[in-house]
Structures are given as structure tokens and as C-alpha cells.
């Protein structure tokens, strides 16, 4: 259930909303050397990394609720594991902004945690459930510092149902695909990875192995029990909205 499964070649233009260090943009550049690539991100360190990874990409410091590009600019917009980090009041505006900057027939590919059976295992929410343990093991992450600099707080990692995503998306979309994936292995691997991130051991072979195991779990569809969800929406006029199961 990866965004890459829905980025059909040839890619002409992509906006990555919450582009982090530019991994998706780098993936797109490797496959489409002439594509227009752009990203928005609020983490200053990640922006520097993204610009280094894809020097010709247009990357701006901005949130998904205020995208600094004209109407009808992009063929694709990707938004991978970002929506759950946004304050609740900014989620629907982000959908509207993405709709605005997509060209007619353009597609949004969005992944986010799903309200499945093991949502309670979300490692990011242990900062709220057991804050002392989180501070002891992880400390203050880069996300905490960047949010504080913008006068925002790290939000509870919300897990969405399909119905909630439909309500946030609003009118103007054709629902092309919905895929759910993962069960409990993905969040468990997230918890086990804590010590490696705390010690900046990002390339450690054990961490790489944990990420591979999490990826295997995420590719399996467990239906309503799934930990993650991927939706693909196509921009239409606001008057015509279609939904798929």
C-alpha cells in the first residue's frame, strides 16, 4: 500500500505535502528526470536535507493548509504519514489546498494511520500515554523542536476511519482506490526502533531490518483491522463526488 504503487509513469509533476527529507521526491526524480518536483515541509532540518537530496526541486517551508503554489499546478500530490501530525482544525483546509493546486484530473495519494484494532500501539502516542518513559528513551525529537518554533504542539497521532477521511476531503473528488494494510507488527517495530533513533543510529542494520519487517506487514491488507490506510483521490469539480469502498 505504498504511494509509489499509484504514481503512474510518466510523471510530469508532483507536489509532496510534508516532504520531510525528500525521499519521495528523490524516488520520483530517479524515475522521471524531467518531471517538475515540489514539496512543502515545516521542519527546517528536513528542508535542508530535501534540497540536498533533490537540488532542482521547489521546496518551501509551509504547512499543507497554506501551499504556496498557484491553482491547477500539479499532476500528482502525495501526502504520506502527514495528516495525523496536523492540528485537527487544519486537516480539512489541507485537503482543500491540495485540491486547489492539483490540475483537473490530478490525483492525491495519501497514507495515514487507520482506526484499526491496534491503533493503541502507536509508538508516537506513548509521548502522551507514558510521557516520562518517552522522554527517558527518546528525549525531545526534531519534530517537537520544530513545532515549538512555529508556536504549535505535537499532536496526538490520530487514526482515521474511511468515513472520517471522506468528511475531511469534502466534495470535488472521485475516489479511485482505498487500500488498508498492516496489523500490529508495524507499530511494534516502531517501538523497538526507539533506541536507535535516540542514539542517531539511523543506518544500523538492526534498524534497517525492523523497517523491512514493518514494510512486509504494511503490504498485507487486514481490512477494517488494519493499522494503515492509503486513499487515492482524483480532482473533479466540486459538484461531482464519487466514492469507492
pLDDT above 90 as % of the chain = 58
Angle at 116 between CA 96 and CA 182, to 5 degrees: 95
Residue 15 falls within a domain, yes or no? yes
Residue 203 falls within a domain, yes or no? no
Q: What pLDDT sits at residue 145?
A: 58
Residue 164 falls within a domain, yes or no? yes
CATH number of 8's domain? 3.40.50.150
What is the Cα gyration radius of the chain?
Answer: 18
Q: What pLDDT sits at residue 188?
A: 84
Q: What pLDDT sits at residue 123?
A: 77
pLDDT single digits (tens) 182-238: 998 888 887 788 777 767 777 788 888 888 888 888 889 999 999 999 999 999 976
pLDDT single digits (tens) 76-130: 999 999 999 899 999 999 999 999 999 999 999 999 999 999 888 887 777 776 6
| pLDDT band of 175, cuts 50, 70, 90 | very high
With both helix axes pointing from N to C terminus, report the angle between 205-218 and 185-192 in degrees, rounded to the nearest 10.
Answer: 160
Residue 222 falls within a domain, yes or no? no
**What is the overall mean pLDDT for the chain?**
87
Q: What pLDDT sits at residue 216?
A: 87
Number of domains making up the chain: 1
C-beta separation of 72 from 41 below 8 A: no
Residue 144 falls within a domain, yes or no? no
In this structure, of 7-11, 90-94, 240-244, the range with the lowest mean pLDDT score is 240-244
Residue 152 falls within a domain, yes or no? no
| pLDDT band of 15, cuts 50, 70, 90 | very high
Task: Give the domain extent around 62.
Answer: 1-114+157-182+227-245
Helix, coil or strand: residue 191: helix
| Stretch 151-159: mean pLDDT | 72
| pLDDT band of 9, cuts 50, 70, 90 | confident
Task: Report whether pLDDT(136) > 80.
Answer: no
Residue 63 falls within a domain, yes or no? yes
With residue 112 as reference, give the H or E element that holds it: strand 102-113
CA distance 184 to 175: 27
Angle at 1 between CA 118 and CA 46, to 5 degrees: 85
Helix, coil or strand: residue 228: strand
C-beta separation of 60 from 40 below 8 A: yes
Residue 187 falls within a domain, yes or no? no
The set of cell numbers assigned to 130 is 507514558
With residue 12 as reference, give the H or E element that holds it: none
Task: Report whether pLDDT(243) > 60.
Answer: no
CA distance 24 to 220: 21
Amino acid at each position: 500500500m505504498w504511494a509509489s504503487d499509484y504514481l503512474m509513469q510518466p510523471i510530469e509533476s508532483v507536489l509532496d505535502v510534508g516532504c520531510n527529507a525528500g525521499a519521495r521526491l528523490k524516488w520520483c526524480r530517479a524515475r522521471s528526470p524531467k518531471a517538475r518536483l515540489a514539496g512543502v515541509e515545516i521542519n527546517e532540518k528536513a528542508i535542508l536535507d530535501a534540497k540536498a537530496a533533490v537540488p532542482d526541486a521547489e521546496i518551501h517551508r509551509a504547512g499543507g493548509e497554506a501551499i504556496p503554489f498557484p491553482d491547477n499546478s500539479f499532476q500528482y500530490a502525495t501526502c504520506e504519514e502527514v495528516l495525523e501530525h496536523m492540528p485537527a482544525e487544519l486537516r480539512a483546509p489541507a485537503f482543500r489546498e491540495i485540491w486547489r493546486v492539483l490540475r483537473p484530473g490530478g490525483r492525491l495519494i495519501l497514507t495515514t494511520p487507520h482506526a484499526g484494532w491496534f491503533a493503541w500501539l502507536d509508538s508516537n502516542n506513548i509521548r502522551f500515554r507514558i510521557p516520562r518513559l518517552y522522554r527517558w528513551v527518546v528525549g525531545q525529537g526534531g519534530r517537537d523542536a520544530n513545532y515549538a518554533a512555529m508556536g504549535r504542539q505535537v499532536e496526538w497521532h490520530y487514526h482515521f476511519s474511511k468515513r472520517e477521511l471522506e468528511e475531511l476531503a469534502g466534495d470535488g473528488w472521485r475516489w479511485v482506490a482505498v487500500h488498508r494494510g498492516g496489523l500490529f507488527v508495524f507499530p511494534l517495530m516502531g517501538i523497538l526502533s526507539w533506541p536507535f533513533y535516540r542514539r542517531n543510529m539511523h543506518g544500523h542494520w538492526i534498524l534497517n531490518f525492523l523497517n523491512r519487517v514493518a514494510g512486509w506487514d504494511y503490504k498485507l491488507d487486514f481490512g477494517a483491522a488494519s493499522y494503515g490506510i492509503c486513499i487515492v483521490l482524483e480532482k473533479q469539480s466540486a459538484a461531482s463526488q464519487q466514492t469507492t469502498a
